[in-house]
């Protein structure tokens, strides 16, 4: 059984507390694709969050940006 991602549960706690701007900021600095996918799974379990287009767009954009190879890597 896979271990739950602690980052995703912390972001969900921010969303539940109503601090959506902090949750969006955390999504933008997500540590890995796996963590963002875990967050998407948790978001899809709640009916009111499924309809939040800004939240879903931020999650999808971060998955896309972390999935692609970086064009420039700093030394």
> For residue 38, what are the domain limits?
30-66
> Is residue 44 assigned to a domain?
yes
Alpha-carbon Rg for the chain in angstroms = 13
Please indicate, yes or no, if residue 14 is contained in any of the structural domains.
no
Q: Decide if 36 is inside a domain.
A: yes
With respect to residue 6, please indicate whether it lies within any of the assigned structural domains: no
Number of domains in the chain: 1
Any domain includes 74: no
- Provide the mean pLDDT of the chain: 87
For position 27, what pLDDT does the model report? 94
pLDDT for residue 68: 78
Q: Let me know if residue 57 belongs to a domain.
A: yes
For residue range 48-65, list pLDDT tens digits in order: 888 899 999 999 999 998
Is 42 domain-assigned?
A: yes
Is the residue at 22 inside a domain? no
Tell me the two tokens of residue 62: 């971060």
Interatomic CA distance for residues 15 and 55, integer angstroms: 9
Predicted structure pTM score: 0.82
What is the predicted pLDDT for the residue at 54? Answer: 93
Rounded CA separation 31/47 (Å)? 26
What mean pLDDT is predicted for residues 5-19? Answer: 91
Residue 26 backbone zone (phi > 0: left; psi -120 to 50: alpha; other: beta): alpha
């Amino acid at each position: 059984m896979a271990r739950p991602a602690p980052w995703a549960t912390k972001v969900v706690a921010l969303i539940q507390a109503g601090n959506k701007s902090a949750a969006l900021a955390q999504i933008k600095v997500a540590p890995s694709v796996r963590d963002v996918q875990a967050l998407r799974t948790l978001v899809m379990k709640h009916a009111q969050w499924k309809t939040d287009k800004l939240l879903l767009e931020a999650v999808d954009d971060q998955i896309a940006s972390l999935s692609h190879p970086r064009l420039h890597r700093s030394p």
